[in-house]
A and B are shown apart, each in its own frame.
Chain A
Amino acid sequence: MKKEALVTYLRTKRVPLILCGILLIAGTLVLAFAWSAGLIGGRITTRTFLKDTPKTYPAGYRRAHGKGICFEGTFRASGEAVPYSIASVFAQQKVPVIGRFSLGSPDPYAPDNSTRTASMALMLTADDGEQWRMKLNNEPFFATRDAEGFLKQMEAYKPNPSTGSPDPARVTAFLKEYPEAKKYVKWDATAPWTRSFAGAQYNVINSFILIDKNGKKQAIRWSMRPHAAFTSWSVSQRKQASHDFLFEDLKKRIQKGPLYWDLVITLAEPGDAVNDPSQVWPESRRQIVAGTLEVSHVFDQADGGCRDVNFDPTRVPKGITLSDDPVLRARAGIYAHSHSDRVREIGYGKATDAVVKHQNDNPKNK
């Protein structure tokens, strides 16, 4: 009887201990889940980059580069990139392209003279079904070496509500932490603004890797080099420009005939900063013209077409892979959130302006 009582006693002790152990295991799993989801720990996630998304614009617009226009075109490969990559877009005669020109401002109603940043986004679909998505800007390099730097830059240059301009102490602190950004600040202050989408060169900024048929790798960057001449404007010309000057100019040019850009690939050499988009490679690097983009038709982004496309630059075809450029990798998640947020707004019918075709009836667009 005594022995049995002891066993019973141990049993009653054992059960709470086991329950604690099970709770500990379950709790650890739940904590790991919450941390991975970014709910606890306060780490920077790709969501952090969208926290400043303006709530003032109608639903359905892109979270960045909201004002844009869709285009259709054709990419004709020259064959020059074939020795470096097995991607079929480099060998195919004609590759259909859907794309978008956009303004750097997040505001979909921004006046065209409010930013120097013009962008081209593309999606090439080869006959074998492989897609090549890319996003290019007319800036020659990225301001910071990593994606966190971009957040800190935004934070540092946020206008102080009382003075209306950025706090100099915060800017200094940012430039101390990210000295490479000085190069960008200088470029931003001095380089001429483009006066036309047609004459701008668009640069991929991030680095990628080409893979040839033997598996050999070649680090690259590329640009879309315009056939049209670059044009700029004086500050007074720019200030007097109409609200939609750049987009009107683009439509007028396309009416006269297609616009062309050469896809110029720059081949890195050992020692070039492949993992740092703020560093420009030397001008002497070998360049090849992989083909020519013909932009033949533009249409309103509210009509669809390019509207629901995520121009995520990490979606590359077989024969191209990503480099270890941290900004490139961060873009994948940030673009994904931006895309799913706005497509869900469109899908659930919350979008108004972003999907309905408006014939100049929007007072803000006049």
Chain B
Amino acid sequence: MSGKKNRPSAPPTQFNITARILHWLMAAMILAMIFVGLGMMTSLTWRPWLLDLHVPLGIAILLLVIIRFINRLSFPVPKMPVSMSKFQSKAAGTLHWLFYGMMLALPLTGWAQLSAGGFPVKLFPGVNLSPILPQSPLLYALLHDAHRVMAWALFFMVVGHFSAALLHAWVYRDGIFSSITWGRKMTIRSEEPPASAAE
């Protein structure tokens, strides 16, 4: 990090490899988690099995989002294309931070909810996490509702985010989508000559 400060480097056109891997890994995990959660609350057959999956997967997301957050703060990220309006860039930026908040809050409210409800937080058979809250009906009530409302909100955020991403990938083709993928870089950045990318 400190070494980079010496270079008057242009912002990258892509997120770093850690960010890209974590993005797609966590996208799959989060989408799976939302459906595991819904299944847990409805299925006549699969709840015990889904619950055994939900807790360790949630803890894994919690650990990964911390790594991702540190990575996000430590390395430069691509700039929004100039074709985007100020408002659009601001909204997109805010939404990205809201995603971080959700990814952190959902595992924490899940863990706290189990604690407040007096349930074991079973990671694996015989391995339980310590409760992070005392047993309390009020805390349980608040956390249970918060967890559900946030999970629903996160789902619609994911759908919105994914739709917008596809719009950028297929319609605008402004390099936003390719900044998080491994595909061909579609840099339609007229003001930046491609030669500057040479290292």
Contact = CB atoms under 8 A, between A and B. Distances in A.
B136 A25 contact: no
Interface residue SS majority, chain B: helix
Contacts of B117: 308, 310, 339-340, 343
Contacts of A191: none
A36 interface: yes
B163 A332 contact: no
A41 to B, nearest CB: 10
Closest 4 CB pairs of A and B: A347-B141, A318-B126, A347-B137, A45-B42
A147 B118 contact: no
Interface residues of B, number: 39
A47 B51 CA distance: 17
Interface string B92-125: 0000000000000000000000000111100001
A5 interface: no
Which of the listed residues B38, B136, B167 has the most CB atoms from chain A within 10 Å of its own CB?
Answer: B38
Interface of B: 34-35, 38-48, 51, 117-120, 125-126, 128, 135-142, 144-145, 155, 159, 162-163, 166-167, 170-171
Interface in A29-52: 29-30, 32-33, 36-38, 43-47
A333 B41 contact: yes
A329 B48 contact: yes
Which size bracket describes the interface of A in this complex?
Answer: 35 or more
Interface of A: 15, 18-19, 21-23, 25-26, 29-30, 32-33, 36-38, 43-47, 128-131, 147-148, 308-310, 314-315, 317-318, 321-322, 326, 329-330, 332-333, 336-337, 339-340, 343-344, 346-349
Contacts of A332: 47-48, 51
26 contacts: A18-B167, A21-B166, A21-B170, A32-B35, A33-B155, A36-B35, A36-B39, A37-B38, A44-B44, A47-B42, A310-B119, A315-B120, A329-B46, A333-B40, A333-B41, A337-B41, A340-B117, A340-B140, A343-B140, A344-B137, A346-B137, A347-B137, A347-B139, A347-B140, A348-B138, A348-B141
Contacts, number: 125
Contacts of A315: 119-120
B42 A309 contact: no
Nearest to B125: A318
A308 B162 contact: no
A293 to B, nearest CB: 21
Contact of B45 (A26, A128, A326, A340): A326
